[in-house]
A and B are shown apart, each in its own frame.
Chain A
Amino acid sequence: MNDSARVLVAHQLHKRFKAQEALRGLSLGVAPGELYGLVGPDGAGKTTALRIMAGVMGPDEGYARIAGKDPLSGDPAVRSMLGYMPQQYSLYGDLSVDENLAFFGKMFCLDKATFSAQRERLLHITRLGRFGDRRADALSGGMYKKLALACSLLPKPRVLLLDEPTNGVDPVSRRELWALLFELVEDGMAVVVSTAYMDEAERCHRVGLLHRGQLLMEGAPTRLMAEHGNAATFEDLFLAAVREAA
């Protein structure tokens, strides 16, 4: 796939925090309608990679592009193409579900008609419709994540970056969240999910195995399994690759 087909591109990203080298030349590209899993142990650099791609932080070297544009530029056009859900996604706990959505709707510069259409759609697909008046800090873990996802989906982004979205979420909500991601991908969104769960990684179209700031391998889960025939499960494959690199 050439770069023009990719709506999200990261090229040779380097990032250093004092003595710690978080990213060492990470490159990846994601096409519209593709679900990309960024897999790796804690401290591999997943969050740093996502933060740079979201334009929350700049890289020391390399660049990220969203539909050819620099997410760091602050250009409202790029920001509106981008949905980003940090691991510690925080909503305003003292505001209700509706108030949170309305506030972020205004931050994303949605006009009234677009906002109410989006609100209806997102409350429907996240099944949060009944909880409009409930304060965000009174929601369960799974519902809270879904509301967070709904907020980041408000501007109808073309690229969605999710940092460990199912961390601390019960199995039922986890399944619902993944079903939701597949719907979004089917609609043509490019989605990057970082995760430490191997069963989730296997559901992605492509995965990149990140270890100490570098991709150890990348490709469709089935193809990776076939290439490394001696691994019984995806988890074994992952552990073997990490052990080899260490």
Chain B
Amino acid sequence: MRYFIRTVQAVVRKELRQTFRDKRMAAILFIAPVLQLTLLGFAVDMDVDNVPTLVVDQDRSPASRDLLARMLADATFARTQEGDDPDGPMARGEVSVAVVVPRGYSEDVKKGRPAEIQVLIDGTDPVRAQSAMAGVLEFLTQESLHMATARAVAMAQASGRAVEVPMISVVPRVFYNPSLKSPIYMVPGVAAVVLLVVTTVVTAMSIAREKELGTIEQLLVTPMRPVALLLGKIIPFALLGLIAGGLVIAVGTHVFDVPVRGSVLALFLGMLLYLMSTLGTGVFISTVANNQQQAILGSFFFIMPAILLSGFMSPVENMPEWIQLISRLDPARYFVQILRAVLLKGAGVEDLAGPLLALLTFGVGILALGTLRFRKRVA
């Protein structure tokens, strides 16, 4: 047993020494996650604002100018062009929305006739199109309501009667992310993805490298046990993964104002279990790969679906039933869930028993499978 611990220690020390001596490896571990988080955090911005808008004012009346000015006062739409023909600019991608106020608009309004306003929306990007459409509809509905109310009041006053207009006033209150900023939703997801990429690839590569160089054969003729080698490989990358994970969360809170409302213990417990899964996957991949190239390819074979099914971009609940079933095998899905719950909703360990247990199961399973295969392959 003492010998076992000593060999594990020796491998851990060797791995750390090699990792920090290889500047590229150290960069993959520490600089890449922070850089990726910052870039992705800014790039994956689902907020819809400053939609380039073409205004076609065929009415050219004070009423139409006033309507358009108020519509564009909100930052949702930005008037980038004025013209007569909306088709060309939209096809060229210069504008995403075109608002056409037809001739006779002010006349219709004045006389109390239904007025029409045409809104053209570029549906190439459905998320953006839906947000833009909702924005336009909301503004114009409010506008109609105001006009109708004003007219009712005016008519009542003219006939000398008191006015009573029934109305429902909606008071929305948004929980957890009140300003509805998408980085606050995205950053925890990005953190899970970044940790997945870094730890799985690095572990798989580090074991595959020993195979590629032939050092593993040299280790096998020593009295060292294969499990000691595996532990010696996993422990340093688990430690470095925890540090990288902490770094990513720190960048998230400082750069993107992501709050940490819940228990830090739950956060690190989740991260530890998640790392067990990603490192175990790295070990498993290394038993299939014979060299570092195959290890990288193998890792991405796992990483791509793991990211897509994790729910970090679109909610898992929106996926078809059978894909939701597959996503239950995805450790990233549980970690994204844990991160969002802890950071945004203030959850603690007791609230997250389900996903924590799922991660534990996956982690133990894949580590056991990887270890068995590793022992079988090398012995």
Chain A: interface size category:
20 to 34
Interface stretch among B214-222, B240-248, B318-326, B335-343? B214-222
Question: Which residues of chain A come closer than 8 Å to B223, judged between CB atoms?
Answer: 76, 79-80, 107-109
Picked from A84, A92, A107, A152, the residue with its CB within 8 Å of the CB of B18 is A92
Question: In the complex, what distance in Å separates the CA atom of A91 from the CA atom of B218?
Answer: 8
Q: In the complex the two chains form, is A107's CB within 8 Å of B219's CB?
A: yes
Interface stretch among A98-106, A189-197, A218-226? A98-106
* A88 on interface, CB distance cutoff 8 Å: yes
Question: Which residues of chain B come closer than 8 Å to A79, judged between CB atoms?
Answer: 221-223
Give the residue name and chain of the A residue nearest to B14 (CB): A103
* A241 on interface, CB distance cutoff 8 Å: no
Mark each residue of chain B from 196 to 224: 1 if its CB lies under 8 Å from any CB of chain A, else 0.
00000000000000000111011111111
Mark each residue of chain B from 1 to 43: 1 if its CB lies under 8 Å from any CB of chain A, else 0.
0010011011000100110011000000000000000000000
Give the residue name and chain of the B residue nearest to A86 (CB): B217
* B379 on interface, CB distance cutoff 8 Å: yes
Give the residue name and chain of the A residue nearest to B25 (CB): A94
* A178 on interface, CB distance cutoff 8 Å: no
Question: In the complex, what distance in Å separates the CA atom of A86 from the CA atom of B220?
Answer: 12
Question: Which residues of chain A come closer than 8 Å to B10, judged between CB atoms?
Answer: 103, 106-107
Question: Which residues of chain A come closer than 8 Å to B379, judged between CB atoms?
Answer: 74
Please, how many residues of chain B have a CB less than 8 angstroms from a CB on the other chain? 23
B206 to chain A, nearest CB (A): 12
* A116 on interface, CB distance cutoff 8 Å: no
Q: In the complex the two chains form, is A94's CB within 8 Å of B21's CB?
A: yes
Question: Which residues of chain A come closer than 8 Å to B22, judged between CB atoms?
Answer: 94
Question: Which residues of chain B come closer than 8 Å to A82, judged between CB atoms?
Answer: 221
Q: In the complex the two chains form, is A56's CB within 8 Å of B221's CB?
A: yes
Q: In the complex the two chains form, is A90's CB within 8 Å of B224's CB?
A: no
* A89 on interface, CB distance cutoff 8 Å: yes
Q: In the complex the two chains form, is B18's CB within 8 Å of A90's CB?
A: no
Which residues of A line the B interface, CB within 8 A?
54-56, 74, 76, 79-80, 82-84, 86, 88-95, 99, 103-104, 106-109, 151-152, 155
Q: Can you pick out 22 interface pairs between chain A and chain B where the beta carbons lie within 8 Å of each other?
A: A76-B3, A80-B223, A82-B221, A83-B221, A89-B218, A90-B218, A91-B215, A92-B14, A94-B21, A94-B22, A95-B14, A95-B17, A95-B18, A99-B14, A106-B7, A106-B9, A106-B10, A107-B7, A107-B10, A107-B223, A151-B218, A152-B221
Known A-B contacts: A84-B221, A107-B219, A108-B223. Give 17 more (CB < 8 A).
Answer: A76-B223, A79-B223, A82-B221, A84-B218, A86-B218, A90-B213, A92-B14, A95-B14, A103-B14, A104-B218, A106-B7, A107-B223, A108-B222, A109-B3, A109-B6, A152-B218, A152-B221
